[in-house]
Structure 1
Amino acid sequence: MKMLIYLGRRLNLLLITLLILCIASYILAFLFPGDPLTNLSGNPSPSDDQAQQLRLMYALDEGALAGFWQYLKLTLVGEWGLSLSSQNPIFDDICQFLPASIELSLYAMFVSLLVGIPLGIIAGLNHRRISDMGILSVSLVGFSLPVFWLALLLILIFALQWGGLPMSGRVSLLYDIPHQTGFILLDIIMSNVANKQQVLLDALNHLILPTLSLSIVTSSLVIRLTRRSVINVMASDYIKAAFAKGLSRPQVFWRHGMKNALLPIMPQLAMQFTVLLTNAMIVEVIFSWPGIGEWLIQAIYQRDFPAIRGGMLAVSALVVIVTISVDLLIRMIYPLSKKQIHAQV
């Protein structure tokens, strides 16, 4: 029963937040320079008949509430208007570019967990020893590095000086990969392109630098979270009781400490995906990665106000949906009490 109440509250929060985002997106059409009709529809110079049809379509002459209600219905069915620069449907452009941002964030999250959790465990088990101080110092340096500066530094070292890795794009221009899912590795596997292994290797080479730029900072945070949780668990009474029974240190940790150390910090680790997604938008610009961030920056340069409005709505809605979904998933797997104690950095 408590779980159903919690689920209802989170769904209400999700709907209310998405409604507020839609209201903000609708208001932006009137705050941006130019005609609100153009900012909503993406038609820069409609004829008189087209303008009248569009005003009826968006209910601009029927008041703010009626106009927003009509805008909300159009948004739900995918009618987000046209891009001023390309005249492509904005919703189609978002569906094309957003998977690239999600793909990059997922790979960076995987690398962050793969590196951060083991190093955090080692540091926590060797509290106040040389290995702990060394790992903590490295994580502090990584956590302090700005993402954009780190990306430029990696390009300077590995792309320009050493010349071993590409500095832009998702795959070499020599290969034409048909767009199917938007995830480049899946699209290559599903395609009939010749020399598929070579193309996959080329795509993986293009992934290395952007993924490292994102994962270094996040790995540092994962290390600090895991280390603090391991230290707290290993100092608890039931761990001391396990040592008193004669169990060795590895037996105590793997039987009693591992699960109890990771479960409390799972929500914080999962929430890092939204941070990665927003950081990925910065990295995309530097590496010319064709994701939603690169697309939004180009829209800003070209003063494409309908695309800016739609892109901001899409990214904000995705972050909210992912955050609440992860919260619900963690709650179902690990039903914490209201007096839970979270790991601290």
Structure 2
Amino acid sequence: MTLYLLRRLFLLAFVFLGLSLLAFSLAYLFPGDVLQNFTGLTTMSTEHAAELQAEYRLDSGYLQQYIAYLQRIFNGNWGLSFSSNQPVLHEIQLLLPATLELAAYALLMSFFIGIPLGILAAIKPEGIISRIISALAVAGFSIPVFWWALLLIMLFSLGLGWLPTAGRVGVLYEIPHVTGFMLLDILLSNSQHQSEALIDALRHLLLPTLVLATFPTTVMIRFTRDSMLDVWEQSYIKTARAKGLNRAQVLYRHGLRNALLPVIRQIGLQFSTLITLAMITEVIFSWPGLGRWLIDSIYQRNYPAIQAGLLVISTLVISVNMLTEILHTLFNPLARKR
């Protein structure tokens, strides 16, 4: 197991090296001055430009420039945003919790809805319930995210007026920024309207979470169903049923534990999908997260923000995928043996 972890950590370091090289090369691939793409400064004096060129080692070779770039990344000097003239790292720290909050709740929703429905569909694969669940999974898998979001807004927001259309919380509630996670900040606040603000934040969170969780839920349903059907044909399941255990006992004691092992790996894969789909969802619902900020930066040609956003999102996705791979190996003896 130790050798496996060392191999994974080496692979993780190698991937991060390639990612940092890509982010570094973007400053040369983007149009405009390289120094401006690195620093985010659009106007600077001749003396200041000379100092920055020496600091960024632009008068040296690419290797020295790359080493200086890594030093700036670790020191937190990620440049300034073209649009706001604020440090890019500061903006990311403010916006990243909103994206993580939305993605985490969507992943939990897909986990707690998709796995039970997948198990239910696998109990009687030729039954009417299984066919209905499979049909809903195919429909949810095929629906475009933006169309599904607009449809839910028209129904629950514009038609029925039950849920808000945008934002994280109503303008009537002033929640101090502590962690960046809205629900947690509301619970940590000492406002006399804490319960009302919490309900309002949950109402704002419901629609974007439902939209974002639709695609991974359908994947969880289909993957859990196939995994259960595969485990159900194994010899130890047939032996357990031959010993007199009923269907529920076999399902809980033997089938469910082994069928859910491959699902752990799917959590990491679906998290990367959630981060990608969150960009579209945040734009539609005006959710102040990292995805919306990155898309706005692309429209504004905010090159330092694009460079930093790519680095952060890719690092987040790679780290979560690697963590789920390690957890899958810890829980699966056969994977450890391989």
* TM-score tier (shorter): over 0.9
- Matched residue SS, 1:212: helix
Mean Cα deviation higher: 166-175 or 266-275 = 266-275
Query: Does residue 311 of structure 2 align to residue 313 of structure 1?
Result: yes
| Whole-Å separation in 1 of the counterparts to 2:167 and 2:27 | 32
Please list the CA deviations of residues 46-71 of structure 1 after superposition, one character each: whole Å capped at 9, or x if unmatched: 11121111111111001111111101
8 Å CA contact 2:267, 2:324 repeated in 1: no
Q: Which residue does the alignment assign to 2:159? A: 161
Please point out which of 194, 197, 206 is paired with 1:196: 194
Q: Which runs of 5+ in 2 are unaligned?
A: none
Shift of 1:293: 0.6
Which residue does 1:148 correspond to in 2? 146
Q: CA separation in 2, counterparts of 1:327 and 1:267?
A: 6
> Does residue 233 of structure 1 match 2:240?
no
Distance 2:130 2:174 in 1: 48
Separation in 2 of the partners of 1:295 and 1:8?
36
8 Å Cα contact 2:40/2:80 also seen in 1: yes
Normalization by structure 1: what TM-score? 0.95
Paired residues of 2:264 and 2:324 also in contact (CA < 8 A): no
The 3-state SS of whatever aligns with 2:227 is: helix
**Offset of residue 324 of structure 1:** 0.9
Partner of 1:64: 62
170, 180, 198: which one aligns with 1:172: 170
1:37 maps to a residue whose letter is L
Using the alignment, how far apart are the partners of 1:310 and 1:337 within structure 2?
Answer: 35
Give the aligned partner of residue 259 of structure 2: 261
Q: Which runs of 5+ in 1 are unaligned?
A: 341-345
Q: Which of 25, 33, 45 matches 2:43?
A: 45
Shift of 1:271: 2.5
The letter of the residue matching 1:302 is Q
Partner of 2:169, secondary structure, is: coil
Q: Which region of structure 1 is more displaced relative to structure 2, 88-97 or 271-280?
A: 271-280
What residue identity is the alignment partner of 1:320?
I
Report the secondary structure of 1:210's partner residue: helix
Following superposition, the deviation at residue 135 of structure 1 comes to 0.7
Q: CA deviation at 1:236?
A: 1.6
Partner in structure 2 of residue 32 of structure 1: 30
Shift of 1:251: 1.4
Deviates more, 1:206-215 or 1:142-151: 142-151
Q: Tell me the distance in 2 between the aligned counterparts of 1:323 and 1:223.
A: 20
Match of 1:93 in 2: 91
Shift of 1:132: 0.8
Aligned-pair distance for 1:193? 2.2
Distance 1:269 1:315 in 2: 17
Q: Which residue of 1 aligns with 2:113?
A: 115
Structure 1 position 329, deviation (Å): 2.0
- Distance in 1 (alpha carbons) for counterparts of 2:125 and 2:336: 29
Deviation at residue 338 of structure 1 after TM alignment? 7.7
Mapped partners of 1:306, 1:182: distance in 2 = 23
Kindly provide the CA deviation profile for residues 227-278 of structure 1, in whole angstroms up to 9, marking residues without a partner as x.
Answer: 1111112222211111211221111211211111112332123421221122
Normalising by structure 2, report the TM-score. 0.97
Distance 1:14 1:53 in 2: 35
Aligned length in residues: 338
Of residues 45-54 and 325-334 in structure 1, the stretch that sits farther from structure 2 once superposed is 325-334
How many percent identity over aligned positions? 48
1:218 counterpart residue number: 216
2:291 to 290, 293, 296: 293
**Cα RMSD after superposing both structures:** 1.4
Separation in 1 of the partners of 2:227 and 2:20? 39
Question: Over residues 185-222 of structure 1, what are the superposed CA-to-partner deviations in whole Å (9 max), with x where a residue is unaligned?
Answer: 01111112231000000000000110000111111110
Which piece of structure 1 moves more, 166-175 or 323-332? 323-332
**Equivalent pair of 2:122/2:229 in contact (CA under 8 Å):** yes
Q: Which amino acid aligns with 2:72?
A: L
Distance 1:26 1:254 in 2: 51
Task: Map 1:128-143; keep pairs closer than 5 Å.
Answer: 128-143=126-141
Mapped to 2, the partners of 1:238 and 1:139 lie a distance apart of 30
Instruction: Report Cα offsets for 1:100-142 as digits up to 9, x if no partner.
Output: 1111011001111111111111110111111111111111111
